[in-house]
């Protein structure tokens, strides 16, 4: 069946659909030996020979969906020019290549999804689905109600005002407070910048929830495969059949390298 090239490349788990379009425009893709540079071009992956950067495209029959507890000090990318550790370094036991769904900053930790299902990843990242992500943030000093209120109502950043968020005080300490921030946008370093906008200094940032998925008890560097029901529910398609490999909630551990030192307000509640 004929499909758009960028969709085929994305579905193969090479990269996102947007990045696939850039690869086509850059002349990195061939179909049956002919370089294709038009985005409307189509091919049949079952019949045509498609190459990306000179390598034959492999269509993954086995779909992988992974939840990783990312430690700080890892790059959420498939390569890094500075030679820093990659999140995929923690997935040596995974049988096929996967790539991150969105990003977590180098020093941000917590729940990160990885997959080789490009369509699923694109659905999760598309702004129209407004999938909520929740973060726990340790800030230096004490938090006041006005700071929480401003973050919840939206703050002005250099790329525009943020959408309403759900912000709570989670825990109050002698020198540091913990707050919870739930957002559905996906701007670069958004939670850190929101905190900076209300004069809060972030000491530690951890994502604990992505839509209906919770980080749970996974330790830093551990990962598990999502079940078929989790895959469907997260994409908002509870009735759609999914051919997910490794559906059991098995936990896999790879010890990370030692860490370097270095809309509405629900109220100031503790938990």
* Both structure tokens of 201: 């200094």
Phi, psi dihedrals of residue 252, rounded to the nearest 5°: -120, 140
Identify the active-site residue in 105, 145, 158, 177. Answer: 105
Calpha distance 134→145 (Å, rounded): 19
CA distances from 264 to 160, 179, 189, 201 (A): 19, 14, 21, 22
Calpha distance 133→126 (Å, rounded): 13
Strands (E), 80-165: 99-100, 109-115, 133-140, 156-157, 160-161
CA distances from 111 to 71, 98, 133, 180, 196 (A): 9, 16, 9, 15, 22
Question: Would residue 44 show up in a list of annotated catalytic residues for this protein?
Answer: no
DSSP state of 45: T
Q: Is 201 helix (H, G, I), strand (E, B) or coil?
A: coil
Annotated active-site positions, please?
105
């Amino acid at each position: 069946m004929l499909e758009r090239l960028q969709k085929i490349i994305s579905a193969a788990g090479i990269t996102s659909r947007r990045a696939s379009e850039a690869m086509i425009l850059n002349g990195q893709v061939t179909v049956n030996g002919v370089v294709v540079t038009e985005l409307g071009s189509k091919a049949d992956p079952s019949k045509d020979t498609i190459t990306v950067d000179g390598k034959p495209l492999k269509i993954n029959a086995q779909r992988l969906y992974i939840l990783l507890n990312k430690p700080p000090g890892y790059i959420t990318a498939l390569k890094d020019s500075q030679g820093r550790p990659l999140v995929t370094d923690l997935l040596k036991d995974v049988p096929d290549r996967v790539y991150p769904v969105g990003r977590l900053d180098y020093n941000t930790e917590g729940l990160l999804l990885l997959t080789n299902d490009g369509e699923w990843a694109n659905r999760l990242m598309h702004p129209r689905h407004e999938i909520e992500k929740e973060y726990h943030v340790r800030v230096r000093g004490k938090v006041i109600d006005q700071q929480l209120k401003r973050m919840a109502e939206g703050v002005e950043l250099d790329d525009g005002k943020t959408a309403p968020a759900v912000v709570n005080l989670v825990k109050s300490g002698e020198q540091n407070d913990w707050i919870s921030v739930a957002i559905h946008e996906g701007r670069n370093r958004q939670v850190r910048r929101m905190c900076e906008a209300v004069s809060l200094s972030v000491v530690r940032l951890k994502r604990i929830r992505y839509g209906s998925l919770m980080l749970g008890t996974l330790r830093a560097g551990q990962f598990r495969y999502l079940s078929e029901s989790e895959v469907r529910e997260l994409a908002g398609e509870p009735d759609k059949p999914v051919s997910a490999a490794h559906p059991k909630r098995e936990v896999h551990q790879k010890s990370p390298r030692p860490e370097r030192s270095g809309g509405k307000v629900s109220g100031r509640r503790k938990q």
